[in-house]
Structure 1
Amino acid sequence: MGQHYLVADVGGTNTRVALANDGKLQTQTIHRYRNTDQSGVVEILQTYLAEQAPEARPEAVCIDVAGPVGTDEGQLTNLDWTVTSAELCAATGATFGAILNDMQAQGMALSHLPSTAFHSILKGTAQSGNRMVVNIGTGFNSAVVLGEGPKLTVPGSETGHVNLPVPSPKIYELHQFLTERFGFASAEEVLSGRGLGHIYGFLAGLDPRQPFPSSHHIMSNLRSDPHARKSVDIMLE
């Protein structure tokens, strides 16, 4: 019969849910939910089982969340959601529930991905050993991956909330702009999805207290808006 699992990746904007059998993800079962349309993780998992997999009887449920994870509890950084492993089991009928930090999940996945899943961005000398995973989405985070093969250690990480580095006078001015808006200029406020809007607001001389253009709007106007193109350049810097 094999072992059946329910798995989910819970981000700040979307949640993706799927089934896995004997440790192998069933890619055809992946379904995405927009978090603004949901009340929490429990509702999403129950909706998924009812509408996408009514015959599924998961023995275990495992989710990763974009935020800090304590003892049997996960809390999202950019969304007012918390969930416990007990709630996961009660919602799905599973006998075992687990919650990971999203960067821990990405780091652990490295040893299970085929070589075709990787694409070189910059040429270099490939070396074995410790690695690093970086996630740019609604928020920003990174984590180190210690070890090789199936035995990996990935410490939980919230590095997106470190102070924004200041490599140039222009970035220093951006740092001051963000400090005025948030009280603290974190790396996440520049390197995440919403960070593009913050950079644009800074370049356009907008009031730090007013709403900024969305990243979608900025990327759609790269050819016509010089502030849009410059925003991307600064993010890359």
Structure 2
Amino acid sequence: MHIVTIDIGGTNVRFADAVVEGGGVRSLGESVTFKTGAFPSLERAWQAYGETLGHPLPKGVAISFAGPVHGDVLKLTNNPWVIRPALVKQALGVERITLINDFAAVGHTVAHVSPEHLCHICGPDLPLPERGTISIVGPGTGLGVAHVLRQEGGTYHVSETEGGHVDFAPLDALEDKIALSLRHRFGRVSAERVVSGPGLNNLYEILVEGEGNPRRRYHDDELWIAALAGDDSVAMAALDRFCLSLGAVAGDIALAQGGAAVVIAGGIGFRLAHRLAASGFPFRFAAKGRFQTFMEQLPVKALIHPQPGLLGAAAAFAIEHRD
């Protein structure tokens, strides 16, 4: 069956055609990206995508949405669109629809993705297990947490969670200082305050305060560029600390979920995929006291698929509308 799969974010919306069959995704076409601000609604962006193809659009659509998908009205902070799930079929002229949260889509992608889209970080270099729980931790604008439970016969179940909002747990004197500083600013300090795109800026500002010297202030994206390029020593130190904290949080999530493997996903996970193995991530991931030996036996991968939202939404459609 041919469908359109859509990934709706705060700034961009991505479209692709897909073929789903037998509960899986047979193929995913090239993506087309639009700025959401260029269109007044999803319906108009849908029409523009159809014009790029030059032929009628299919009657099935899968949508990944960067936010909660429960309720009568869906709205993103930086997105001008208002989406009413009950009216999407009529607005787009489709007969079948699947609408899921963006991190649920990541979970479906992890369940379907081929080995070349997984970068090994630490633990035994083995494929993801065919049975058991795969924990997923995704630093991006926030900190996404989900898991995939693989079962006999190739079936699986995805659960997205709010695990990114667990308490941040400092593990050394510097992190005690980080937790104290963030507590003064935010009251409660969640893991997301440190392990996310904006979290790097929080770490950077605290390290700058410790130096006592004036330093350049960055927007979030500028700071990530400087840290990854090695252009600012304090930005690099903040990135080192970020990798340590990501390892600690990922290990905690794996323990809490009973994970048999871990996948690091999200936009920041994609950026760091080839750096985490040489950072402090593996040490902190495994440093769980009496469970260190157990943690060292868990395969940890990074998801490097270029369009996890599109693939995951299509996979969810394939399962929901399996004939």
Report the TM-score when normalising by structure 2: 0.61
Residue identity opposite 2:136 in structure 1: V
Distance (Å, rounded) in 2 between the aligned partners of 1:200 and 1:36: 31
Number of equivalent positions = 229
Residue identity opposite 2:221 in structure 1: H
Query: Which residue of 1 is the match for residue 144 of structure 2?
Result: 141
Query: Which residue of 1 is the match for residue 135 of structure 2?
Result: 132
Pick closer, same or farther for the CA change 1:45–1:192 going to 2, 3 Å. Answer: farther
- Give the counterpart of 2:161 among 141, 145, 157: 157
Q: State the identity as a percent.
A: 28
- Give the counterpart of 1:175 among 179, 188, 192: 179
Stretches of structure 2 lacking an aligned partner (at least 5 in a row): 211-216, 245-323
Distance (Å, rounded) in 1 between the aligned partners of 2:182 and 2:233: 21
Deviations 1:25-75 (A, max 9, x none): 4322x012344555554454343234x234232212111222223267655
* Cα offset, 1:218, TM superposition: 2.3
Which moves more between the two structures, 168-177 or 31-40?
31-40
Distance (Å, rounded) in 2 between the aligned partners of 1:19 and 1:12: 21
Residue identity opposite 1:8 in structure 2: I
* Cα offset, 1:87, TM superposition: 3.4
Q: Secondary structure at the match of 1:67?
A: coil
Residue identity opposite 1:11 in structure 2: G
Larger fraction in helix: 2
Query: Which residue of 1 is the match for residue 34 of structure 2?
Result: 33
Q: Are positions 1:214 and 2:219 aligned together?
A: yes
Residue identity opposite 1:7 in structure 2: T
* Cα offset, 1:232, TM superposition: 0.1
Distance (Å, rounded) in 1 between the aligned partners of 2:82 and 2:176: 35
Query: Which residue of 2 is the match for residue 209 of structure 1?
Result: none
Deviations 1:193-233 (A, max 9, x none): 22211211222229xxxxx5224322443434221111101
Distance (Å, rounded) in 2 between the aligned partners of 1:79 and 1:182: 25
- Give the counterpart of 1:198 among 202, 220, 223: 202
Report the TM-score when normalising by structure 1: 0.80
Distance (Å, rounded) in 2 between the aligned partners of 1:21 and 1:109: 15
Which moves more between the two structures, 69-78 or 165-174?
69-78
Distance (Å, rounded) in 1 between the aligned partners of 2:41 and 2:193: 24
Stretches of structure 1 lacking an aligned partner (at least 5 in a row): 207-211
The answer to whether the 8 Å contact 1:60/1:96 transfers is: yes
Q: Which has the higher contact order (CA 8 A, sep 6+)?
A: 2
